[in-house]
């Protein structure tokens, strides 16, 4: 239960935050009433923040289907049968009623989509796994009751949306899409023009109205009370609009994130706030603040860096980036991933990977059956925003074309991600080696559908039982690697990380747990050729003086004579013998 004795302290903190956002705290009393009412019966359920056992599965509520069962029940059965000792948490992508964008155009934030199941089905999953839920805070569906209020000019939502002059100058606004920013809406008061950052079905909410913030805080707290430990703030970077600015990462947006974190800190230190901002890397990590904003930030630079490195057989950009990372603020870390429900964003590597090499990567994605989505620039031009392709298919070859190393190359990509500092998150379609779903692309007309396949449960279970299938080979290998990772303190999000410069073909880091003293040397061969470990003199003596135990194979090796096979990864600890 939230400690009622500290409500006065929280009120003082939020008063200051609201004054920074709105210039006054006139809405404080209303906000505090919502917080007190929503959290009165909340029980803290977790001790500590996180450790090496924390690993997240990303999935849609209907990624698995079975006739006669609600999809969330099918998902729960799959999780319990296959992943109970592998993953600690499940991110169920928006499971609310929606009108488009596979859930990210929310009609009703407080209901579970009846086609998926019920709140009881969600609670059943939350009993065995930490739950991550999305707060789609930037926009809502034009079919939502709030927007109907706006059209009618009465009711709660009548002032919840951003109206703007269609003839104003929007050239400075940063866009993630090429669709019109300002869309026409026919209302009872005549035609109005509203802000729509992502699509004409996703109408931006007006956070300059404090009632919008209060309503979103109430929804956020409802998700927590219903069992969510992680809250993912979808597209939060675009939250605040000021004409004449870029309308991204504005100070008010950061203050809103800090206000949410203030509430989390008061309610339960075990709760985790996550920002999802597919923007250049330095802008992305700004959402750590000074340790007073998000505890976790999506590591958007990682997927294109790994894909690029394996596509070219060159680890140098990945190594240089890893060596440049600043220390996380206390209590903060990355959410590391290689693929998700969206495409592989390339904005995060602007200034990190040369443009012509991104162009080469796009050509490979096209060759392997994928697409590229574009964004609009202020000068009227377009530039690449994300690559749309199944990651398993994206790694079927290199810039030289397809080859026979798809499985080992794909496992290398996942092992690199699992080695890095932060909490790893695996998309279900990476875990199941799902190929491109071009039929869904044709059906929906959206290129993102290529990586949003819906498995029939019986079909997938059959493939997992067939040791010769790609699905079985990838699933078995990844779950085994994850189990090994979860048993070593050096992979804690709080364990340090140092990237070594050994050669252009090898990506190497050392992870060290400050409490147990455990150190693990992680070496990854990004090429289709065997490679000895070069740069031995740069590796700490405890790894080179005697033999090392290789955790992934169980073998003992001597680094000075150790040769990594194509795309082999090695997790090495000094031998105790």
Asked if 447 contacts 388 with a C-beta cutoff of 8 angstroms, the reply is yes
Instruction: Yes or no: say if 75 and 64 are a contact pair by the CB < 8 Å rule.
Output: yes
pLDDT, tens digit, for every residue of 472-525?
999 999 999 999 999 999 999 999 999 999 999 999 999 999 999 999 999 999
Q: Dump pLDDT digits (tens) for 404-457.
A: 999 999 999 999 999 999 999 999 999 999 999 999 999 999 999 999 999 999
310 is in an annotated binding site: no
Measure the CA–CA gap between 254 and 293, rounded to whole angstroms.
Answer: 7
**pLDDT-above-70 percentage for the chain:** 98
- ∠ CA 525-530-536, rounded to 5°: 65
Q: Give bridge partners of residue 335 from the DSSP assignment.
A: 298, 423
- pLDDT score at 382: 87
- Phi then psi for residue 316, to 5 deg, are -65, -40
Question: By the 8 A CB rule, do 193 and 205 touch?
Answer: no
What mean pLDDT, rounded, does the chain reach?
96
Per-residue pLDDT tens digits for 85-126: 999 999 999 999 999 999 999 999 999 999 999 999 999 999
In the chain, the N- to C-terminal Cα span, in Å, equals 50
Residue 418 confidence (pLDDT): 98
341 is in an annotated binding site: yes
CA angle (94, 98, 103) in 5-degree steps: 30
CB 423 within 8 A of CB 328: no
67: tokens are 């006739």
How many whole angstroms separate alpha carbon 342 and alpha carbon 99?
Answer: 17
- Angle, CA 237 vertex, CA 292 and CA 250 arms, to 5°: 75
Give the per-residue pLDDT at 46: 63
pLDDT at 294 exceeding the cut of 70: yes
218: number of Cβ within 10 Å: 17
Q: What angle do CA 31, 96, 298 make, to 5 degrees?
A: 75
Bridge partners (DSSP) listed for residue 65: 456
Whole-Å CA distances, 112 to 60, 106, 107, 143:
13, 11, 10, 16
- Per cent of the chain over pLDDT 90 is 94
Q: Which residues neighbour 255 within 8 Å (Cβ) at sequence distance 6 or greater? A: 17, 20, 21
Listing DSSP states for 153-187 in one string gives T-SGGGG-B-B--TTS--TT---SSSS-SEEEEEE
Name the strand (E) or helix (H) holding 207.
none
Quick: pLDDT tens for 196-231. Answer: 999 999 999 999 999 999 999 999 999 999 999 999
What confidence score (pLDDT) does residue 84 get? 96
- Token pair in block for residue 27: 């809405």
Question: Given a cut of 70, is residue 577 above it in pLDDT?
Answer: no
- What predicted TM-score, i.e. pTM, was given to this entire model? 0.96
How many whole angstroms separate alpha carbon 29 and alpha carbon 37? 12
Q: What is the spatial distance between Cα 117 and Cα 74, in angstroms, rounded to a whole number? A: 10
Q: Is 342 annotated as a binding residue?
A: yes
**pLDDT over 70 (residue 5):** no
Q: Look at strands 190-195 and 333-336 and give their pairing.
A: unpaired
Say if residue 200 carries a ligand binding annotation: no
* 313-338 mean pLDDT: 96
Structure tokens at 479: 């779950």
Query: What local confidence, expressed as pLDDT, does residue 175 receive?
Result: 87
CATH number of 496-574: 2.60.40.1180
pLDDT, one tens digit per residue, over 147-164 is 999 999 999 999 999 999
Which of 62, 204, 234, 437 does the annotation list as catalytic?
Answer: 234
pLDDT of res. 47: 60
- Of how many residues is the chain composed? 577
Would you say residue 2 has pLDDT above 70?
no
Does the annotation flag 233 for ligand binding? Answer: yes
pLDDT tens digits along 188-202: 999 999 999 999 999
Judge whether 448 is annotated as a binding position: yes
For residue 381, what pLDDT is reported? 85
Which residues, including other chains, have CB under 8 Å from residue 350's CB and lie 6 or more apart?
Answer: 280
Pairing label, strands 519-525, 506-512 = antiparallel
Q: Tell me the H-state helices in 178-315.
A: 210-225, 251-267, 281-284, 302-312
- In which residue are the tokens 């040791």 written? 467
Measured distance CA(13)–CA(567) in Å, rounded: 51
**Residue 403, helix vs strand vs coil:** coil
The encoded tokens of residue 415 equal: 């092992």
The span from the CA of 390 to the CA of 368, in Å, is 9
CA distance 386 to 72: 29
Structure token pair of residue 531: 């490679």
- 232 annotated ligand-binding residue: yes
Residue 12 and residue 395: Cα distance in Å, rounded?
52
Residues 423 and 50 sit within 8 Å (Cβ to Cβ): yes
Higher pLDDT, 521 or 2: 521
Contact 388/372 with Cβ under 8 angstroms? yes
pLDDT, position 471: 98
At 357, which helix (H) or strand (E)? Answer: helix 355-367
Predicted pLDDT of residue 143: 98
- Residue-wise pLDDT for 298-325, tens only, equals 999 999 999 999 999 999 999 999 999 9
Yes or no: say if 301 and 281 are a contact pair by the CB < 8 Å rule. yes
What are the boundaries of each domain within the chain? Answer: 496-574
Cα separation, 386 vs 372, in Å, equals 6
pLDDT band at 553 (very low <50, low <70, confident <90, very high): very high
Q: What angle do CA 270, 272, 277 make, to 5 degrees?
A: 170
- The reported pLDDT for the residue numbered 224 is 97
Distance CA 74, CA 445 (A): 27
- Which residues face 131 on adjacent strands? 90, 228
Known catalytic residue at 234? yes
């Amino acid at each position: 239960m939230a400690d009622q004795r500290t409500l006065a302290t929280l009120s003082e903190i939020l008063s200051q935050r609201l004054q920074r956002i709105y210039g006054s705290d006139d809405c404080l009393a209303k906000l505090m009433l919502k917080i007190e009412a929503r959290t009165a019966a909340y029980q803290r359920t977790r001790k500590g923040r996180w450790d090496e056992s924390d690993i997240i599965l990303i999935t849609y509520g209907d990624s698995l289907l079975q006739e006669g069962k609600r999809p969330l029940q099918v998902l729960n059965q799959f999780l319990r049968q296959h992943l109970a000792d592998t993953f600690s948490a499940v991110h169920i992508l928006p499971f609310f009623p929606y009108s488009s964008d596979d859930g990210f155009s929310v009609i009703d934030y407080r209901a579970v989509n009846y086609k998926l199941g019920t709140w009881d089905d969600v609670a059943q999953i939350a009993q065995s796994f930490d739950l991550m839920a999305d707060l789609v805070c930037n926009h809502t569906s034009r079919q939502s009751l709030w927007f109907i209020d706006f059209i009618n000019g009465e009711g709660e939502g009548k002032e919840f949306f951003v109206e703007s002059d269609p003839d104003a100058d929007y050239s400075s606004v940063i866009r993630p899409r090429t669709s019109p920013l300002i869309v026409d809406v026919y209302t009872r008061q005549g035609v109005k023009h509203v802000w729509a950052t992502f699509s004409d079905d996703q109408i931006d909410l007006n956070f300059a109205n404090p009632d919008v913030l209060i309503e979103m805080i109430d929804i956020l707290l409802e998700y927590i009370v219903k069992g969510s430990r992680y809250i993912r703030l979808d597209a939060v970077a675009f939250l605040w609009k000021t004409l004449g600015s870029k309308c991204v990462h504005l100070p008010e947006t950061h203050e809103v994130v800090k206000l949410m974190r203030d509430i989390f800190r008061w309610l339960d230190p075990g709760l985790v706030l996550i920002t999802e901002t597919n923007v250049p890397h330095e802008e992305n990590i700004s959402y750590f603040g000074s340790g007073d904003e998000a505890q976790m930030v999506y590591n958007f630079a990682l997927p294109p860096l790994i894909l690029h490195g394996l596509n070219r057989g060159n680890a140098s950009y990945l190594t240089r980036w890893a060596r440049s990372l600043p220390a996380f603020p206390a209590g903060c870390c990355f959410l590391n991933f290689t693929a998700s429900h969206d495409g592989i964003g390339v904005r995060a590597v602007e200034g990190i990977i040369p443009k012509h090499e991104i162009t080469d990567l796009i050509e490979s994605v096209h060759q392997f059956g994928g697409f590229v989505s574009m964004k609009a620039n202020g000068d009227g031009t377009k530039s690449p925003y994300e690559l749309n392709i199944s990651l398993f298919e994206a790694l079927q070859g290199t810039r030289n074309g397809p080859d026979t190393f798809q499985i080992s190359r794909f496992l290398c990509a996942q092992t690199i991600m699992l080695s890095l500092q932060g909490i790893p998150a695996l998309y279900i379609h990476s875990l199941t080696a799902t190929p491109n779903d071009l039929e869904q692309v044709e059906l929906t007309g959206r290129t993102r559908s290529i990586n949003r396949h819906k498995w029939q449960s019986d079909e997938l279970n059959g493939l997992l039982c067939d040791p010769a299938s790609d699905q079985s080979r990838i699933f078995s290998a990844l779950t085994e690697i994850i189990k090994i990772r979860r048993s070593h303190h050096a992979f804690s999000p709080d364990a340090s990380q140092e990237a070594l410069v050994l050669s252009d073909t090898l990506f190497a880091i050392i992870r060290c747990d400050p409490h147990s003293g455990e150190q693990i040397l992680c070496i990854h061969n990004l090429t289709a050729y065997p490679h000895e470990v070069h740069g031995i003199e740069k590796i700490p003596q405890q790894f080179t003086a005697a033999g090392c135990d290789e955790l992934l194979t169980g073998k003992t090796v001597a680094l000075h004579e150790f040769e990594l096979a194509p795309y082999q990864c090695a997790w090495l600890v000094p031998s105790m013998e």
